[in-house]
Structure 1
Amino acid sequence: MTDYPKTARLMARGTAFLGCETAIMCGAMSWVSERNLVSAISNAGGFGVIACGAMTPELLDAEIAATRALTDKPFGVNLITMHPALFDLIAVCGKHGVGHVVLAGGIPPKGSVEAIKASQGTAGGAKVICFAPTLALGKKLLRSGADALVIEGMEAGGHIGPVSTSVLAQEILPELAEEHLIFVAGGIGKGQAIAGYLEMGAAGVQLGTRFACASESIAHPDFKKAFFRASAREAIASVQVDPRLPVIPVRALKNKGTEAFTAKQIEVAGMLDRGEVDMEAAQLQIEHYWAGALRRAVIDGDIEGGSLMAGQSVGMVKAEEPVADIIAQLMAECEAALDRR
């Protein structure tokens, strides 16, 4: 990163940890963060992350192998903590020597962090990255063995927490960033924002929406066009219908699919009331709904009935660009902002 000396200095801990040239991670977007986009990001100097989502161990095995065929650079795998085959998925990552595993969607179940660190095929085991929506949970995760944290604000696309990125950064970075590796995510679309978080002590950043419409993204052309037309205010969070059914809000572009999710919650809450499903099964039904709705939008191009998961930075996504150009632009903007300090 000789062209970006100030940025390189502030990203040094992050790049050393990830093993890449720029400490810019790609958020794990189901159906989008697959072999083509992940390898392109890693090849361009960033850090691609496969979104395992609802994949079976067999599908993840094939996806990792296919990604390895497209890049010899480091990349990670994002696993959902509530996945019923989580430990089998961890074993698949170990088999392929995946160096970094991201645990998302909840508190890691007992033994999962240890299983990742003991995974075969990687010298010293894999590194564990966890999401921390609060300072207290961040401290607990680090005590439990997490090697790095991602703090993601509510501006992000997909599943979100209740607190904004700027507030999380102010709460967590001064407390933890000096001794620990913290990556900031949620609503980041410009390099100027990256500069600010790096100066606050972040080791790097994570972006999803900015990469969703890259040239290398397999997302349907109509999905991408919906992003190009959208403004920040059109990326809205889903509403929880029944307080007895804890549903993590999801941020997506408003369409008929948004209304369908409200109806789905009512349906699942009724099943819960009648004792037809337990709470875990109810939550899995909700997750399966999102996986299917997202696939309809991303793969099939159903932009009315599918789920157009997008962060509020969607208003900054105006055209299809190669991943390498996106990363270069972000780095140039970050360096210019640091030069002005």
Structure 2
Amino acid sequence: MTSNLSPTTATPANTTLEKLESSPGFQKLQALTARGCAFLGTRYALLGGAMSWVSERNLVSAISNAGGFGVIACGAMAPERLREEIRATRALTDKPFGVNLITMHPDLDALIDVCAEEGIGHVVLAGGLPTGAMIGRVKKSGAKAIGFAPALPFAKRLVRQGIDAIVIEGSEAGGHVGPVSLNVLAQEILPEIKEVPVFVAGGLGRGEAILSYLERGAAGAQLGTLFAASEESIAHERFKKAFVRANARDAGVTTQLDERLPVIPVRGLGNEASRHFMRHQAQTLQRLEAGELALDAARLEIEHFWAGALRRAVIEGDVENGSVMAGQSVGMVKAVRPVAVIIQTLVAQAAAALEGRS
């Protein structure tokens, strides 16, 4: 999770960090993360997972300032709104950060252009497999393109299309998730994909776990749940407290009632909203069967439910009627901590594990 970049200017607050980075375990960790750090241009090969309503200027800049790689969640932003967020983030950090764009966004080309005009060096294409044209447009702008691969064939296809890096995200992650665990994805993909850096994500809450994937060939890791509950996160205090109270088994996954409504499973803390979603699915299905809704409209009804529910939880603090999206690593959130402490703890855990073997 580290690079050979020089530490920040020494201050009393940096004493612990300096001690960590002079340890033998840290030196070994540098070798494992050199490729990921070089790709991101950061001290640590740790990306912030892009989370709607959460991954904005404050959290993104905090992650980057702490040596990680913050990523703005564009979501449904209009191009000029994204430009505003990029500039606001840059006012808070002079370190590298990226932008996550949803491939189905109707203004995707314009959003890529905004990233280019604002000098964004890394664009994450999410919410579906990007096309070769999308990847090409990002690369033509001068940025590096990052994509998600849910299986080995898709990873190989992304490489053929020119992707610069891949994220493999297991079902342990929060929010919209696939059906396969990170452990299985890593066994399938890490030994086969060597052409580009591969970052792992999903259920990562300790440095030792991240280390296990680095030793199997991962370039670094992406985390979301731990950062969502950080001091710098703008999420409501009730949202953060729900994370602190939760354990891993509380982060369950919604299920799909009918194959005609291809619901992407959502992992979050069980509450009235998750139960309401099941009722909402059933009601939408009834309207579809009655001819009141076309299939495309029915699918939009499902997605719109989560869009509003997430805001209710994150911004308004309604953790019972809102969607409290969280990964299974939520059980390792024991307190609301500064981003820098979260990152340094992960690095220290990984370094200590390496040092303990000598």
> Do the structures match in fold with TM over 0.5?
yes
Scaled by the length of structure 2, the TM-score of the pair is: 0.90
C-alpha displacement of 1:87: 1.5
What is aligned with 2:284?
A: 268
- Output the CA distance in 2 between the equivalents of 1:200 and 1:289: 39
C-alpha change, 1:22 and 1:113, in structure 2 (3 Å) is same
- Output the CA distance in 1 between the equivalents of 2:127 and 2:284: 20
* Residue from 156, 168, 178 that aligns with 1:151: 168
2:146 pairs with 1:133:
no
2:301 pairs with 1:285:
yes
C-alpha displacement of 1:62: 1.1
- Output the CA distance in 2 between the equivalents of 1:272 and 1:110: 34
Q: Which runs of 5+ in 2 are unaligned?
A: 3-20
**Kept after mapping to 1: 8 A contact 2:129/2:149:** no
Alpha-carbon deviations, 1:127-167, whole Å to 9, x = none?
Answer: 01100010011000111111110000000000101011111
- Output the CA distance in 2 between the equivalents of 1:55 and 1:287: 16
What is aligned with 2:7?
A: none
C-alpha change, 1:111 and 1:282, in structure 2 (3 Å) is farther
C-alpha displacement of 1:337: 1.1
C-alpha displacement of 1:275: 6.6
2:347 pairs with 1:325:
no
What is aligned with 2:331?
A: 315
C-alpha displacement of 1:278: 4.2
**Following superposition of structure 1 onto structure 2, how do residues 91-110 of structure 1 map, counting pairs within 5 Å?**
91-109=113-131
Q: Which runs of 5+ in 1 are unaligned?
A: 120-124
Scaled by the length of structure 1, the TM-score of the pair is: 0.94
2:79 pairs with 1:61:
no
Give the number of the structure whose alpha-carbon radius of gyration is greater: 2
- Output the CA distance in 2 between the equivalents of 1:52 and 1:292: 16
**Kept after mapping to 2: 8 A contact 1:54/1:291:** no
- Output the CA distance in 1 between the equivalents of 2:134 and 2:157: 15
Root-mean-square deviation (CA, aligned residues, Å) is 1.4
SS in 2 for 1:308: coil
2:71 pairs with 1:49:
yes
**Following superposition of structure 1 onto structure 2, how do residues 78-227 of structure 1 map, counting pairs within 5 Å?**
78-109=100-131, 111-119=133-141, 125-176=142-193, 178-227=194-243
**Kept after mapping to 1: 8 A contact 2:61/2:89:** yes
* Number of equivalent positions: 334
Amino acid corresponding to residue 118 of structure 1 in structure 2: K
Amino acid corresponding to residue 108 of structure 1 in structure 2: P
% same residue: 63
- Output the CA distance in 1 between the equivalents of 2:129 and 2:47: 21
Alpha-carbon deviations, 1:108-139, whole Å to 9, x = none?
Answer: 145211111122xxxxx110110001001100
C-alpha displacement of 1:271: 4.7
